Structure 1
Amino acid sequence: MTLILGMVLDALIGEPRWLWSRLPHPAVIMGRLIGWCDRSFNNGPRRRLMGTLTLMELCIFAGVVGWLLQRVPGTVIDVVILAVLLAQKSLVDHVQAVGDALRLSLGDGRRAVAMIVGRDTKEMDRPAVARSAIESAAENLSDGVIAPIFWFAVAGLPGLLIYKITNTADSMIGYRTPRHADFGWAAARFDDLLNLIPARLTAVLIWTVTTRPDPRHIIKEAPLHRSPNAGWPEAAMAHGLSIALSGPRSYDGALRDYPFVNGAGRHDLGPEDIDQTVGVLWRCWGLALVLAMLGYAFF
């Protein structure tokens, strides 16, 4: 029941500005802790070892905090923490904002999509803006919604907090840059491991609520993605909506010639496709809620 209530609470209130403008969000606290670890321990000749030990300590800390919070009588704390660390409403709002902005002008769309992607947006055309928003929606449905639900269902608050601090660490230090290639190696690899099952579950959910394309196409293209996990929801979304995703894009002024996912799909994307994607996000959430209810009823 805790999982069901947390999902519903997140879908209803999301991330209220009045609250998080006064209090630090738990993800912000995690980020500050990881940033301090990066500044303190990312030095010397054994950076990979230090990064691995740092991640282990962060996970132990998160697990202990989750265990202690779970010991508090009642379910209110569990429900509130789960709702806070889920991102369904926030994801929908951010993705829909790109579609609404793109209807106003290309410049508004570029500024809106820059809030949710890390690639260069100044030279994007209309289809590239829409494509970026849809890719972000697919990937973050897995990372921000399905994975936290999965790990809460498997291991309660300790599982949820371990997943969130690992995912936050990956987003901060899990890059192959000169500074973080070694120190962030463990965070990137452990995040890949924790997302292994949720990413594929997300692909199944997307497949179920869309046109149910030939799953062989998804299975064939998903492993070609630069990420071992993000390719699954992205391929499912591309084929489910019969559109082309991924493809060339620019990071820090350097063009990356990535292949298209479902290259035979429609390339001329716009705000209407973002609207469709938002519908997919809600249908996936609804299906996940039904599965949670069935799990509660039977187990």
Structure 2
Amino acid sequence: MTGPESDWGSAAPLVLLLVVLFADGLIGGLPGIRVLFGLPLNFVRSLTKWFDARLNRETRGLGARRMRGLFVVAVVVALAWAAGGALAHVAKQLTYGWIVEALCVLLLLHQCEGLGRMRRVARSVAADDNEAGRALVAPLVRYDTATLDGYALSRAAIEGGTAQLTERLIGTIFWYLLLGLPGLCVYRANSAIAHVIGRPSPRHAAFGFVSARLDDVLNLIPALLAGPLLILSALFVPKAAPVAAMREWVRDLGERVGKAGYRGDGAMAGALGVALGGPRPFDDAAIPGKWIGDGRARATVGDVDRAVFLVAVACLLIGLGLAMGIVGHAR
């Protein structure tokens, strides 16, 4: 194979990731590209919804529904591992196979789309168009958005942006470097499953239990890395508070690490001076949730804009880290 692998040796994965990160920032926000990049994970979500409609019968006991949810995860994860392995094998056989592998990683990363969605939510809230904001923010979070007001929409956009940083960027890089394309496919496939059924709602608490717990395990290290990265990013963002980000990250770390849904939100809450989390709407009912941070619950459009800035700086810092890793390998 001609390309980074032959020219850069052990630094090849870092070169590939840096190329992917640059390409995502360059074209990832274009409307047509957004649709194209969303196809693989949208297919997994559609497949999960198909399984959900046929296997998740509320007349079944909790144990039976958990086993059926385990079956769904096992089937989709096995398919994802096989697909990733096949694509990696094909890439190794082609002269410029690294381009194939880079495109696969790019399709599964798609970090820029999350930033664009956060900005569009902010614009909708600013225009007092909460209906559009609810539709825009829905793919970023794992709870019902139909009743969210402007403040809740702003909080949801911030929480979704933090989760996107952890899952789409840090998690993608971590699992690709650790297990290559097969491991990355498994990681992102289960994330897509969990987005559909990994919710503590009456319908999905049992059926989505395995997917949600697996998602938390797979995201534990990425979430631990997201906090310090956001603290560092806060140093470069006007009106962000790095000291408060550190304080809330440490507090959140002690209270929630290893628990359901931990994504390093404490650092983001502290940096912006807002409170995230709280009760979540599911199936026309609110499920209690702990507030993260001691700031304002009434998050504003300005807070969303600063959150976008924070995540963008974090992306740049990761790119810088990849470049430094490449230089270190080249010496």
Shorter-chain TM range is 0.7 to 0.9
Alpha-carbon shift at residue 288 of structure 1 (Å): 1.2
Q: Distance in 2 between matches of 1:6 and 1:12?
A: 10
In structure 1, what is the equivalent of residue 144 of structure 2?
119
Q: What is the root-mean-square deviation of aligned Cα atoms in Å? A: 2.8
Q: Is the 8 A contact 2:134 2:145 kept in 1?
A: no
Are 1:260 and 2:291 matched, yes or no?
yes
Q: Distance in 2 between matches of 1:294 and 1:156?
A: 21
Match of 2:308 among 271, 278, 295: 278
In structure 2, what is the equivalent of residue 287 of structure 1?
317
In structure 2, what is the equivalent of residue 201 of structure 1?
225
CA spacing shift, 1:32–1:98, aligned 2, 3 Å: closer
Are 1:80 and 2:103 matched, yes or no?
yes
Aligned length: 295
Q: Is the 8 A contact 1:37 1:54 kept in 2?
A: yes
In structure 2, what is the equivalent of residue 129 of structure 1?
153
Are 1:102 and 2:125 matched, yes or no?
yes
Match of 1:239 among 266, 270, 274: 270
User: Could you tell me the percent identity over the aligned residues?
Assistant: 26
Secondary structure of the residue aligned to 2:199 is coil
Q: Distance in 1 between matches of 2:37 and 2:162?
A: 29
Alpha-carbon shift at residue 69 of structure 1 (Å): 0.8
CA spacing shift, 1:186–1:266, aligned 2, 3 Å: closer
Q: Is the 8 A contact 1:174 1:180 kept in 2?
A: yes
Alpha-carbon shift at residue 5 of structure 1 (Å): 1.0
Q: Deviations over 1:80-136 (max 9, x none)?
A: 11111113211111101122222222xx14531442143345462x43332222122
Q: Distance in 2 between matches of 1:40 and 1:191?
A: 23
Which runs of 5 or more structure 1 residues have no equivalent in the other structure? none
More helix by share: 2
Q: Is the 8 A contact 1:14 1:84 kept in 2?
A: no
In structure 2, what is the equivalent of residue 92 of structure 1?
115
Q: Is the 8 A contact 2:120 2:136 kept in 1?
A: no
Match of 1:69 among 87, 96, 104: 87
CA spacing shift, 1:22–1:136, aligned 2, 3 Å: closer
In structure 1, what is the equivalent of residue 39 of structure 2?
25
CA spacing shift, 1:286–1:230, aligned 2, 3 Å: farther
Residues 129-168 of structure 1: matches in 2 within 5 Å? Answer: 129-168=153-192
Match of 2:48 among 34, 58, 78: 34
Q: Is the 8 A contact 1:196 1:229 kept in 2?
A: no
Alpha-carbon shift at residue 141 of structure 1 (Å): 1.7
Q: Which amino acid aligns with 1:241?
A: L
Q: Which amino acid aligns with 1:246?
A: G
In structure 1, what is the equivalent of residue 6 of structure 2?
none
Q: Which amino acid aligns with 2:109?
A: L
CA spacing shift, 1:140–1:228, aligned 2, 3 Å: farther
In structure 2, what is the equivalent of residue 58 of structure 1?
76
In structure 1, what is the equivalent of residue 213 of structure 2?
189
Alpha-carbon shift at residue 236 of structure 1 (Å): 0.6
Q: Distance in 1 between matches of 2:148 and 2:68?
A: 39
Q: Distance in 2 between matches of 1:182 and 1:267?
A: 30
CA spacing shift, 1:231–1:179, aligned 2, 3 Å: closer
Are 1:169 and 2:193 matched, yes or no?
yes
Alpha-carbon shift at residue 193 of structure 1 (Å): 0.7
Q: Distance in 1 between matches of 2:103 and 2:45?
A: 20
Q: How does the TM-score come out when normalised to structure 1?
A: 0.86
Q: Which amino acid aligns with 1:116?
A: V
Q: Distance in 1 between matches of 2:290 and 2:301?
A: 23
Secondary structure of the residue aligned to 1:243 is coil
Q: How does the TM-score come out when normalised to structure 2?
A: 0.78
CA spacing shift, 1:291–1:130, aligned 2, 3 Å: same
Q: Distance in 2 between matches of 1:276 and 1:20?
A: 23
CA spacing shift, 1:120–1:38, aligned 2, 3 Å: closer
